Chains A and B, each alone.
Chain A
Amino acid sequence: MTASQIIFYLISAFMLGTAILAVTTRKIFRSAIWLLFSLIGTAALYFWLEVEFIAAVQIIVYVGGIVVLIIFSIFLTQQSGQRMAKAPITRVIASVLATIFGFSLTFLLISQHSFQLTEKPFDWTISKIGMQMLGTDRNGFALPLEVVSILLLAAMIGCIVIAIKSNPEEK
């Protein structure tokens, strides 16, 4: 077993472990933290995969953005120390069964599929990504970028309208 392999399994174990903790712990703040670790683990996986750009984006957007957002909203809506209520037991059982079954089925399908691995090198560079991101030709992603920008604008407007604190007398 090479070091690379060991690292992979460690990262994976870390990622999955924290993910499981994130969805099972009953303290909401801890849950957020475990999520943070899991996301960092994912970023680590990207590093291991040698797509550092994605790893960076992952850390910036997820860790720096979303998790912070979540933590803020936790502060806004909850006493952080409180233990969360448990889900009904039937639902838990059903969920466990569903996820395990779903997982086995999915993984069975994936593992039975023979992926045609190539030996071609995966060469990406930031400049290549940048060029394509703004390109309008065959491999350009300018249009998606524009769409996402509109989406972000709309999301922003939506958030403002909904979350803005309206004056009580206007009710």
Chain B
Amino acid sequence: MNYSQYILLIPLLPLAGFLVLGLFGKSYFNKSAGIIGTLFLLVAAILSLYTAYNYFFIDGKVNGVYQSIIPFKYTWLSFSENISIDMGFVLDPISVMMLVVVTFVSLMVHIFSLWYMKGEERFSTYYAFLGLFTFSMLGLVISTNIFQIYMFWELVGVSSYLLIGFYYDKPSAVAASKKAFIVTRFADLAFLIGILILGFQAETLDFGTLIQRLTDIQSSQFIGITTASFFGVSLLTWALTLVFIGGAGKSAMLPLHIWLPDAMEGPTPVSALIHAATMVVAGVYLVARLFPVFHINQASLHIVTFVGVASALFAAIIACTQTDIKRVLAYSTMSQIGYMMFSLGISGIGGENGLGYTASLFHLFTHAFFKSLLFLAAGAVIHLVHSNELKDMGGLKRYMPVTHIVFLVACLAISGIFPFAGFFSKEEILLASYESNKIVYAIALFTSGLTAFYMFRLYFSIFWNKQKDLHSHHGEGNMSMKIPLWILAVCTCTAGFISFGKYVSADGKELASHFHILFSIVPVTVSLLGILLAMLLYKKENGKPQAISNSLGGLYKTAYHKFYIDEVYLFITKKIIFNLVGRPAAWIDKNIIDGIMNGIAGVTASISSAIKGIQSGKVQSYALYFFAGIIAMAIVFVYLWK
């Protein structure tokens, strides 16, 4: 199969969409921009499905192992003989899987937005940005080169920035976009340094070669990077940790998650695409990409595990207390990504050991569907009630039956109820963690229960509970809204049955799906308990939730305020960085450095004024000076300095 004939079209079509719409959209086809963008993406999605088909079923496998195929590679910027940034296109299980996910979800969002964003003033700009984002995300997943991934990493960051700030005249949106960019930028700094260390120690930036060299314990590069140490920690650990920090920033892992809830200021479809299904899992993808290297350095893998678990639990707790539905979803995203992370963290390579890896990516895959579904549905709800707040909602199931159904499906999926997609992937994660680390398993299990609780809290609050007055009654929406919801709902129901391990595994070999009925009893029970609890509390309007939150007191408040992490950040930036670094720098520049420069001028002027008396206008003084000059010269040059 010759991929190179068309493969580049997949990322380039969205880019073309971006360019066309960005440059000419506003003036020439503001109205039809959505259609154009969607068409571009439709083609891209079809092409990626076609590619996936070809790869997984026709020619991806050689001797039972999935190969990475590089149909395209171009040296973009060469630094030295070994080190160069290549723009390439790699096909391997995870990238192909991501291709499908990205184009598919993006397509859904495009279609959904046709309805959702209708009538927006910057309709074409919106689609242009979506195109840009899709392009960047595709570029990210197909990277053959660690620097390529960094570039697209930055590009998705900026697209995210642009989309979060789409409602630019809302100060909160502006602030959120800024925050998202800066926080992830901070993480990217770590990523960049990590890349520098890895790249230079491995003497390559190419993923394939890099992984090969750094997993071969005999190679000089491996010896070099492991023996060199900095503050007693080997360079490899440093590098991987730094790379992981980069990933954690994008994936909103603790403590770099603070931008994600705020990012919900963007249009909801955008949240579905970027902040639920695709961009935020880039961190997971990154770790998966470098998994062999992480695996060889257990220390960094432990960090991944720890951060993943902590984020999963932490986000779930906060999610229980939030009242903004998008924020709840955002925390749930964070929590689910935490799952994926620690699943990677506890994984090994090869056969059964690699279950965590497969599970993680499986969860990534299924999560993309049900989480985007959740967001889109939430979007529909918000569109109807013009509010994000739970208190403005209730009893909506009458008004929006389709939304109700798909939302329920998605909630069940995320809670891990058979036979929805989430069940399969989550079971695998729990299984993997059970097998490797019981504490992790326990926390994961608890989190799973929490997940079910807060998701159904959401579900019941929106669709059941007491009906609120609705100001607008313009129905649920047209086909372009419903179609994506249905499609995603169908995917949510069926995706779990894909035997994912056949295609994606840590070592490229087939990994049989494990399905232990016995094992899944416990998690499902826990989830059901969570659902039950939610039902009790939120199905009908009652005072219990209030009472419980009151009784929890400080704990609840702390969780409600997201454990005050935002405030800590605010303190560090506003008080410390601005006041203790920025202001002094500006002050020093204005007063000291500039002062010295001006001072030189001032001193010159004052010397000039001090010696003006020499030029007294009295000719006899002149003569005296004249003579004194001669005497001085005579003494100096006759006697002292011959």
In the complex, A94 Cα to B627 Cα: how many Å?
11
A91 and B634 contact, CB distance less than 8 A: no
Which of these, A87, A91, A98, contacts B631 with CB under 8 Å?
A98
> B46 at interface (Cβ–Cβ under 8 A)?
no
> B635 at interface (Cβ–Cβ under 8 A)?
yes
Give B631's nearest chain A residue, CB to CB.
Answer: A102
A91 and B621 contact, CB distance less than 8 A: yes
Which of these, A87, A91, A98, A109, contacts B628 with CB under 8 Å?
A98
B631 and A105 contact, CB distance less than 8 A: yes
In the complex, A91 Cα to B619 Cα: how many Å?
12
User: Most chain-B CB neighbours within 10 Å: which of A87, A91, A98, A101?
Assistant: A98
Q: Which residues of A contact B620 (CB under 8 A)?
A: 87, 91
- CB of B177 to closest CB in A, whole Å: 76
- Size band of the interface chain A makes with B: under 10
Q: Which residues of A contact B621 (CB under 8 A)?
A: 91
- Size band of the interface chain B makes with A: 10 to 19
Q: Which residues of A contact B631 (CB under 8 A)?
A: 98, 101-102, 105
> B586 at interface (Cβ–Cβ under 8 A)?
no
> A95 at interface (Cβ–Cβ under 8 A)?
yes
In the complex, A102 Cα to B532 Cα: how many Å?
115
Q: Which residues of A contact B624 (CB under 8 A)?
A: 91, 94-95, 98
Q: Which residues of A contact B634 (CB under 8 A)?
A: 105, 109
A105 and B627 contact, CB distance less than 8 A: no
B638 and A109 contact, CB distance less than 8 A: yes
Q: Which residues of B contact A102 (CB under 8 A)?
A: 627, 630-631
Q: Which residues of A contact B630 (CB under 8 A)?
A: 102
**Given that A87-B620, A91-B620, A91-B621 are contacting pairs, would A98 and B635 also be in contact in the complex, using a CB cutoff of 8 Å?**
no
Q: Which residues of B contact A101 (CB under 8 A)?
A: 631
In the complex, A143 Cα to B320 Cα: how many Å?
117
- Against B, the Cβ 8 Å flags (1 = close, 0 = not) of A95-111 are 10010011001000100
- Against A, the Cβ 8 Å flags (1 = close, 0 = not) of B474-509 are 000000000000000000000000000000000000
Q: Which residues of A contact B638 (CB under 8 A)?
A: 109
In the complex, A105 Cα to B635 Cα: how many Å?
9
Kindly identify, within residues 70 to 106 of chain A, every residue whose CB is under 8 Å from any CB belonging to chain B.
Answer: 87, 91, 94-95, 98, 101-102, 105
In the complex, A150 Cα to B588 Cα: how many Å?
68
Q: Which residues of B contact A91 (CB under 8 A)?
A: 620-621, 624
- Against A, the Cβ 8 Å flags (1 = close, 0 = not) of B607-642 are 000000000000011001001101100110010000
- CB of A110 to closest CB in B, whole Å: 12
- CB of B634 to closest CB in A, whole Å: 6
- CB of B621 to closest CB in A, whole Å: 7
Can you list 14 residue pairs at the A/B interface with Cβ under 8 Å?
A87-B620, A91-B620, A91-B621, A94-B624, A98-B627, A98-B631, A101-B631, A102-B627, A102-B630, A105-B631, A105-B634, A105-B635, A109-B634, A109-B638
**What are the 8 A-B residue pairs with the smallest beta carbon separation, nearest first?**
A98-B627, A102-B631, A94-B624, A98-B624, A105-B634, A102-B627, A98-B628, A91-B620
Question: Residues of A at under 8 Å CB distance from B?
Answer: 87, 91, 94-95, 98, 101-102, 105, 109
Known pairs A98-B624, A102-B627, A105-B635. 4 more at Cβ < 8 A?
Answer: A91-B620, A94-B624, A98-B627, A98-B628
